[in-house]
Protein backbone atom coordinates (compact mmCIF):
# COMPACT_ATOMS: atom_id res chain seq x y z
CA UNK A 1 0.00 0.00 0.00
CA UNK A 2 2.79 2.39 0.95
CA UNK A 3 4.61 1.58 -2.25
CA UNK A 4 1.54 2.43 -4.39
CA UNK A 5 1.15 5.83 -2.70
CA UNK A 6 4.79 6.66 -3.38
CA UNK A 7 4.38 5.73 -7.04
CA UNK A 8 1.33 8.03 -7.37
CA UNK A 9 3.17 10.93 -5.79
CA UNK A 10 6.21 10.42 -7.96
CA UNK A 11 4.43 10.55 -11.29
CA UNK A 12 3.40 14.32 -10.98
CA UNK A 13 0.70 15.96 -13.15
CA UNK A 14 -0.35 14.74 -16.55
CA UNK A 15 -0.44 17.06 -19.58
CA UNK A 16 -4.24 17.00 -19.49
CA UNK A 17 -4.26 18.14 -15.87
CA UNK A 18 -1.81 20.96 -16.63
CA UNK A 19 -3.89 22.09 -19.58
CA UNK A 20 -7.00 22.18 -17.40
CA UNK A 21 -5.20 24.33 -14.84
CA UNK A 22 -3.91 26.69 -17.55
CA UNK A 23 -7.39 27.04 -19.06
CA UNK A 24 -8.92 27.79 -15.68
CA UNK A 25 -6.25 30.41 -14.93
CA UNK A 26 -6.83 31.98 -18.36
CA UNK A 27 -10.57 32.19 -17.79
CA UNK A 28 -10.09 33.82 -14.40
CA UNK A 29 -7.55 36.30 -15.85
CA UNK A 30 -9.93 37.20 -18.69
CA UNK A 31 -12.77 37.80 -16.24
CA UNK A 32 -10.53 39.98 -14.09
CA UNK A 33 -9.29 41.95 -17.13
CA UNK A 34 -12.81 42.59 -18.43
CA UNK A 35 -13.94 43.64 -14.99
CA UNK A 36 -10.98 46.02 -14.58
CA UNK A 37 -11.47 47.50 -18.06
CA UNK A 38 -15.15 48.06 -17.35
CA UNK A 39 -14.37 49.88 -14.11
CA UNK A 40 -11.68 52.00 -15.81
CA UNK A 41 -13.99 52.87 -18.71
CA UNK A 42 -16.74 53.93 -16.34
CA UNK A 43 -14.30 56.04 -14.32
CA UNK A 44 -12.91 57.77 -17.43
CA UNK A 45 -16.41 58.42 -18.74
CA UNK A 46 -17.50 59.81 -15.38
CA UNK A 47 -14.47 62.12 -15.42
CA UNK A 48 -15.46 63.51 -18.82
CA UNK A 49 -19.05 63.96 -17.68
CA UNK A 50 -17.95 65.77 -14.54
CA UNK A 51 -15.66 68.11 -16.49
CA UNK A 52 -18.41 68.80 -19.04
CA UNK A 53 -21.00 69.57 -16.37
CA UNK A 54 -18.51 71.81 -14.56
CA UNK A 55 -17.73 73.76 -17.72
CA UNK A 56 -21.43 74.27 -18.45
CA UNK A 57 -21.70 75.75 -14.96
CA UNK A 58 -18.83 78.12 -15.74
CA UNK A 59 -20.53 79.15 -18.99
CA UNK A 60 -23.69 80.00 -17.06
CA UNK A 61 -21.62 82.03 -14.59
CA UNK A 62 -19.89 83.84 -17.47
CA UNK A 63 -23.21 84.86 -19.01
CA UNK A 64 -24.61 85.93 -15.64
CA UNK A 65 -21.57 87.84 -14.37
CA UNK A 66 -20.18 89.44 -17.52
CA UNK A 67 -21.67 91.80 -20.05
CA UNK A 68 -20.30 89.95 -23.06
CA UNK A 69 -23.08 87.44 -23.72
CA UNK A 70 -22.36 83.83 -24.70
CA UNK A 71 -18.62 82.93 -24.57
CA UNK A 72 -17.25 82.46 -28.08
CA UNK A 73 -14.32 80.32 -26.94
CA UNK A 74 -13.26 78.09 -24.06
CA UNK A 75 -10.53 80.68 -23.51
CA UNK A 76 -13.19 82.97 -22.04
CA UNK A 77 -13.15 80.73 -18.98
CA UNK A 78 -9.69 79.11 -19.01
CA UNK A 79 -7.83 82.41 -19.49
CA UNK A 80 -10.00 84.49 -17.17
CA UNK A 81 -8.73 85.98 -13.92
CA UNK A 82 -8.57 83.35 -11.19
CA UNK A 83 -10.84 85.55 -9.05
CA UNK A 84 -13.64 85.44 -11.64
CA UNK A 85 -16.62 83.25 -10.85
CA UNK A 86 -16.41 81.74 -14.33
CA UNK A 87 -12.68 80.88 -14.21
CA UNK A 88 -12.13 77.23 -15.21
CA UNK A 89 -8.85 75.42 -14.60
CA UNK A 90 -7.44 71.93 -15.06
CA UNK A 91 -9.28 71.28 -18.34
CA UNK A 92 -7.78 70.02 -21.60
CA UNK A 93 -9.28 70.65 -25.02
CA UNK A 94 -8.72 68.94 -28.37
CA UNK A 95 -7.42 72.03 -30.08
CA UNK A 96 -6.12 70.82 -33.45
CA UNK A 97 -7.73 73.02 -36.10
CA UNK A 98 -9.07 72.06 -39.50
CA UNK A 99 -9.94 74.24 -42.47
CA UNK A 100 -12.11 71.85 -44.47
CA UNK A 101 -15.82 71.90 -43.49
CA UNK A 102 -16.67 68.85 -41.44
CA UNK A 103 -13.06 67.69 -40.99
CA UNK A 104 -11.98 69.72 -37.97
CA UNK A 105 -10.04 67.35 -35.77
CA UNK A 106 -11.92 66.37 -32.67
CA UNK A 107 -11.42 63.70 -30.05
CA UNK A 108 -13.06 61.10 -32.30
CA UNK A 109 -10.07 61.32 -34.62
CA UNK A 110 -7.54 60.87 -31.84
CA UNK A 111 -9.08 58.49 -29.31
CA UNK A 112 -8.19 56.36 -27.51
CA UNK A 113 -4.51 57.41 -27.76
CA UNK A 114 -3.09 60.90 -27.71
CA UNK A 115 -5.76 62.70 -25.69
CA UNK A 116 -6.04 62.92 -21.92
CA UNK A 117 -9.04 61.28 -20.29
CA UNK A 118 -10.49 64.65 -19.38
CA UNK A 119 -10.12 66.27 -22.81
CA UNK A 120 -13.20 68.11 -24.07
CA UNK A 121 -14.43 69.46 -27.38
CA UNK A 122 -15.84 73.01 -27.36
CA UNK A 123 -18.43 73.62 -30.06
CA UNK A 124 -19.64 77.13 -30.90
CA UNK A 125 -23.19 77.12 -32.25
CA UNK A 126 -25.07 79.83 -34.09
CA UNK A 127 -26.18 81.17 -37.44
CA UNK A 128 -24.65 82.92 -40.42
CA UNK A 129 -27.63 85.22 -40.80
CA UNK A 130 -28.84 83.15 -43.73
CA UNK A 131 -30.92 80.04 -44.30
CA UNK A 132 -27.79 77.97 -44.92
CA UNK A 133 -26.55 75.99 -41.91
CA UNK A 134 -23.09 76.85 -40.66
CA UNK A 135 -20.41 74.53 -42.04
CA UNK A 136 -17.13 76.20 -41.16
CA UNK A 137 -15.65 79.19 -39.36
CA UNK A 138 -14.53 81.59 -42.07
CA UNK A 139 -13.04 80.61 -45.41
CA UNK A 140 -15.65 79.46 -47.90
CA UNK A 141 -18.61 80.58 -45.78
CA UNK A 142 -19.32 83.58 -43.62
CA UNK A 143 -19.08 81.58 -40.43
CA UNK A 144 -21.02 82.16 -37.22
CA UNK A 145 -22.14 85.76 -36.93
CA UNK A 146 -24.80 85.24 -34.26
CA UNK A 147 -23.88 82.92 -31.39
CA UNK A 148 -26.84 80.92 -30.09
CA UNK A 149 -25.29 78.27 -27.85
CA UNK A 150 -22.45 75.98 -26.82
CA UNK A 151 -21.98 72.21 -26.98
CA UNK A 152 -19.43 70.35 -24.87
CA UNK A 153 -18.21 66.98 -26.14
CA UNK A 154 -16.57 64.31 -23.99
CA UNK A 155 -15.42 60.77 -24.76
CA UNK A 156 -17.74 57.98 -23.65
CA UNK A 157 -15.52 54.93 -23.10
CA UNK A 158 -18.37 52.46 -22.65
CA UNK A 159 -19.24 50.06 -25.45
CA UNK A 160 -17.23 50.71 -28.62
CA UNK A 161 -16.35 54.21 -27.40
CA UNK A 162 -17.54 57.41 -29.05
CA UNK A 163 -17.83 61.14 -28.54
CA UNK A 164 -20.94 62.42 -26.75
CA UNK A 165 -21.69 66.02 -27.66
CA UNK A 166 -25.45 65.85 -27.08
CA UNK A 167 -25.68 65.75 -23.29
CA UNK A 168 -24.07 68.97 -22.04
CA UNK A 169 -25.38 72.01 -23.88
CA UNK A 170 -26.00 75.69 -23.28
CA UNK A 171 -28.50 77.76 -25.25
CA UNK A 172 -29.71 76.72 -28.71
CA UNK A 173 -27.48 74.14 -30.40
CA UNK A 174 -29.77 72.82 -33.13
CA UNK A 175 -32.91 73.71 -35.06
CA UNK A 176 -33.46 77.39 -35.81
CA UNK A 177 -32.65 80.61 -33.96
CA UNK A 178 -33.42 84.30 -34.27
CA UNK A 179 -36.32 86.74 -34.43
CA UNK A 180 -38.23 87.86 -36.36
CA UNK A 181 -36.56 85.59 -38.94
CA UNK A 182 -35.24 82.25 -37.66
CA UNK A 183 -32.14 80.82 -39.35
CA UNK A 184 -30.67 77.34 -39.24
CA UNK A 185 -28.24 76.69 -36.38
CA UNK A 186 -24.90 74.99 -37.03
CA UNK A 187 -22.05 74.12 -34.65
CA UNK A 188 -18.30 74.15 -35.22
CA UNK A 189 -15.51 72.78 -33.07
CA UNK A 190 -13.27 75.50 -31.68
CA UNK A 191 -9.65 74.64 -32.41
CA UNK A 192 -6.75 76.92 -31.56
CA UNK A 193 -7.00 78.92 -34.80
CA UNK A 194 -10.75 79.31 -34.44
CA UNK A 195 -10.32 80.45 -30.83
CA UNK A 196 -7.80 83.11 -31.92
CA UNK A 197 -10.21 84.32 -34.60
CA UNK A 198 -12.83 84.66 -31.87
CA UNK A 199 -10.42 86.90 -29.93
CA UNK A 200 -9.96 89.14 -32.99
CA UNK A 201 -13.72 89.35 -33.50
CA UNK A 202 -14.27 90.16 -29.83
CA UNK A 203 -11.70 92.97 -30.04
CA UNK A 204 -13.56 94.41 -33.03
CA UNK A 205 -16.94 94.13 -31.32
CA UNK A 206 -15.70 95.95 -28.22
CA UNK A 207 -13.26 98.52 -29.67
CA UNK A 208 -14.26 98.99 -33.31
CA UNK A 209 -10.86 97.75 -34.53
CA UNK A 210 -9.32 94.38 -35.26
CA UNK A 211 -5.83 93.65 -33.85
CA UNK A 212 -3.07 95.31 -35.87
CA UNK A 213 -0.08 93.32 -34.63
CA UNK A 214 0.75 89.99 -33.02
CA UNK A 215 2.36 91.35 -29.86
CA UNK A 216 3.01 94.73 -28.33
CA UNK A 217 0.23 96.31 -26.34
CA UNK A 218 -3.53 96.42 -26.08
CA UNK A 219 -4.00 96.57 -29.86
CA UNK A 220 -2.14 93.28 -30.36
CA UNK A 221 -3.95 89.98 -30.45
CA UNK A 222 -1.73 88.53 -27.70
CA UNK A 223 -1.66 91.61 -25.51
CA UNK A 224 -5.24 92.87 -25.65
CA UNK A 225 -6.66 93.79 -22.26
CA UNK A 226 -10.12 94.79 -23.42
CA UNK A 227 -11.71 91.96 -25.36
CA UNK A 228 -13.93 89.49 -23.53
CA UNK A 229 -12.30 86.57 -25.36
CA UNK A 230 -8.75 85.69 -24.38
CA UNK A 231 -6.17 83.47 -26.03
CA UNK A 232 -5.99 79.84 -24.90
CA UNK A 233 -3.12 79.18 -22.51
CA UNK A 234 0.11 78.12 -24.22
CA UNK A 235 -0.74 79.61 -27.63
CA UNK A 236 1.81 81.80 -29.41
CA UNK A 237 0.71 84.11 -32.23
CA UNK A 238 3.65 85.51 -34.16
CA UNK A 239 3.99 88.16 -36.84
CA UNK A 240 6.59 86.64 -39.15
CA UNK A 241 6.74 85.56 -42.77
CA UNK A 242 7.13 81.94 -41.66
CA UNK A 243 4.05 79.73 -41.55
CA UNK A 244 3.61 77.12 -38.82
CA UNK A 245 5.04 73.71 -39.60
CA UNK A 246 4.74 70.24 -38.11
CA UNK A 247 6.25 70.38 -34.65
CA UNK A 248 5.06 73.87 -33.78
CA UNK A 249 1.75 73.95 -35.58
CA UNK A 250 -0.34 72.84 -32.62
CA UNK A 251 0.50 75.89 -30.51
CA UNK A 252 2.05 78.48 -32.85
CA UNK A 253 0.04 80.56 -35.33
CA UNK A 254 0.96 83.21 -37.87
CA UNK A 255 -0.86 86.54 -37.68
CA UNK A 256 -1.50 88.89 -40.59
CA UNK A 257 -3.63 92.01 -40.40
CA UNK A 258 -6.03 92.89 -43.16
CA UNK A 259 -5.57 95.95 -45.32
CA UNK A 260 -7.08 97.84 -48.18
CA UNK A 261 -3.66 98.24 -49.73
CA UNK A 262 -0.32 96.45 -49.63
CA UNK A 263 1.59 99.63 -48.80
CA UNK A 264 3.37 99.94 -45.44
CA UNK A 265 1.96 100.44 -42.87
CA UNK A 266 -1.40 99.06 -44.05
CA UNK A 267 -2.76 97.91 -40.70
CA UNK A 268 -2.88 101.32 -39.06
CA UNK A 269 -3.46 103.34 -42.19
CA UNK A 270 -6.08 101.29 -43.98
CA UNK A 271 -6.90 98.03 -42.34
CA UNK A 272 -7.65 98.39 -38.64
CA UNK A 273 -11.28 97.61 -39.28
CA UNK A 274 -10.98 95.30 -42.27
CA UNK A 275 -10.04 91.98 -40.62
CA UNK A 276 -7.08 89.67 -40.90
CA UNK A 277 -5.79 86.13 -41.40
CA UNK A 278 -4.63 83.42 -38.99
CA UNK A 279 -2.46 80.62 -40.43
CA UNK A 280 -2.06 77.29 -38.65
CA UNK A 281 -0.77 73.79 -39.32
CA UNK A 282 -3.73 71.74 -40.52
CA UNK A 283 -3.52 68.09 -39.48
CA UNK A 284 -6.93 67.29 -40.92
CA UNK A 285 -5.64 67.42 -44.49
CA UNK A 286 -4.60 64.18 -46.18
CA UNK A 287 -1.08 65.62 -46.34
CA UNK A 288 -0.71 68.07 -43.42
CA UNK A 289 0.10 71.61 -44.52
CA UNK A 290 -0.36 75.23 -43.52
CA UNK A 291 -3.92 76.53 -43.84
CA UNK A 292 -5.58 79.84 -43.02
CA UNK A 293 -8.77 81.31 -41.63
CA UNK A 294 -9.74 84.76 -42.90
CA UNK A 295 -11.97 87.03 -40.82
CA UNK A 296 -13.54 90.37 -41.61
CA UNK A 297 -13.43 91.81 -45.15
CA UNK A 298 -9.75 92.32 -46.04
CA UNK A 299 -8.56 92.67 -49.61
CA UNK A 300 -4.84 92.35 -48.81
CA UNK A 301 -2.72 91.12 -45.92
CA UNK A 302 0.35 92.46 -44.20
CA UNK A 303 2.67 90.84 -41.66
CA UNK A 304 3.38 93.60 -39.14
CA UNK A 305 6.12 91.79 -37.23
CA UNK A 306 6.09 90.62 -33.65
Contact 165, 117 (CB under 8 A): no
pLDDT band per the 50, 70, 90 thresholds, residue 286: low
pLDDT tens digits for 19-52? 777 877 777 776 666 555 678 788 888 888 999 9
Could you tell me if 70 and 155 are in contact, meaning their C-beta atoms sit under 8 angstroms apart? no
> Tens digits of per-residue pLDDT, 41-89?
888 888 889 999 999 999 999 999 888 888 888 888 888 888 999 999 8
More confident position, 60 or 7: 60
- The closest of 226, 225, 174, 188 to 205, measured between CA atoms, is 226
Which range has highest mean pLDDT (82-86, 94-98, 179-183, 196-200)?
82-86
Which whole number is the average pLDDT over 187-201? 83
CA–CA gap between residue 242 and residue 236 (Å, rounded) = 13
Provide the strand spans (E) within the chain.
92-93, 119-127, 146-156, 162-171, 176-177, 183-184, 186-189, 236-238, 252-259, 275-282, 289-296, 300-302
The DSSP annotation for 222-284 comes to TT-SS-S--PPTT-EEE-SSPPP-TTTTTTEEEEEEEESSSSSSHIIIIITTTEEEEEEEETT
Mean pLDDT, to the nearest integer, of 127-144? 55
Bridge partners (DSSP) of residue 151 are 123, 169
According to the model, what pLDDT value does residue 1 have? 53
Average pLDDT, the chain: 77
Report the 10 Å Cβ neighbour count for 86: 21
Question: What mean pLDDT is predicted for residues 172-182?
Answer: 88
- pLDDT at site 100: 44
For residue 175, what are the CA distances in angstroms to 25, 131, 133, 182, 183?
Answer: 55, 11, 10, 9, 8
Winning range, highest mean pLDDT, from 104-108, 118-122, 266-270, 283-287: 118-122
For the chain, give every domain's residue range.
Answer: 16-190, 191-306
Task: Write the pLDDT tens digit of every residue in 223-270.
Answer: 888 887 788 877 889 888 888 887 776 778 999 988 766 665 667 655
pLDDT given for residue 101 in this prediction: 43
pLDDT digits (tens, 9 = 90+) for 109-135: 555 554 555 578 888 888 877 666 554
Residue 43: its pLDDT value, please? 83
pLDDT at 264: 57
pLDDT mean over 173-180: 88
Amino acid sequence: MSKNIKNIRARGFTIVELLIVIVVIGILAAIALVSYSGITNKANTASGQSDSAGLIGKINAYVADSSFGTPTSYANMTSAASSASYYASGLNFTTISGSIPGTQKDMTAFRPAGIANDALDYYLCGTTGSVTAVSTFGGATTGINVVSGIKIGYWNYTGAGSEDSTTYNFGTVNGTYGTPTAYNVGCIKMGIAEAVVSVAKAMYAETGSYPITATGGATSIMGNTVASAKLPAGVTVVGTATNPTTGNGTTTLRFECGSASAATPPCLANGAGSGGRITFWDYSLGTPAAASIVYGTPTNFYTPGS
